């Protein structure tokens, strides 16, 4: 489709897409949002890491937004509406202890 300034284009992250190299003098901005239930994850204990130089200068809230989807068993930082500081969501200590005893690891 033909797009104009101010248009928004949505892609599924499963969609193969691309663009020509950006050569204009002005900056091009992109926002990446992923929506998933809290219990949906790419895989157990899957936690990709952004390059350190990309994270330099980001606030804790900005870093929290860049977290991949994964279950709270991985102590994920979460932003709450109206708050600028993320909180760590975690499973109950009893459940964590159970996982360690049954699976022999902190994150199964």
DSSP state of 102: H
Identify the residue whose tokens are 């901005």: 29
Q: Work out the percent of the chain whose per-residue pLDDT is above 90.
A: 6
Identify the residue whose tokens are 């969501």: 89
Whether the predicted model's global pTM rises above the 0.85 cut: no
> 53: which 2 tokens?
């130089």
Name which residue leads in pLDDT, 84 or 36.
Answer: 84
CA dihedral in degrees (36, 39, 40, 43; nearest 10)? 150
pLDDT band at 58 (very low <50, low <70, confident <90, very high): very high
In whole angstroms, give the CA distance from residue 35 to residue 32: 10
Question: Do residues 84 and 61 touch, judged by C-beta distance below 8 A?
Answer: yes
């Amino acid at each position: 489709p033909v797009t104009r300034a101010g248009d928004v284009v949505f892609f599924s992250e499963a969609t193969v897409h691309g663009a020509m190299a950006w050569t204009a003098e002005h900056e091009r901005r992109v926002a990446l949002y992923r929506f998933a239930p809290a219990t949906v994850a790419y895989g157990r204990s899957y936690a990709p890491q952004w390059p350190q130089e990309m994270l330099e200068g980001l606030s804790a809230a900005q870093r929290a937004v860049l977290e991949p989807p994964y279950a709270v068993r991985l102590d994920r930082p979460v932003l709450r509406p109206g708050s600028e500081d993320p909180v760590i969501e975690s499973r109950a200590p009893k459940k964590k202890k159970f996982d360690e005893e049954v699976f022999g690891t902190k994150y199964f």
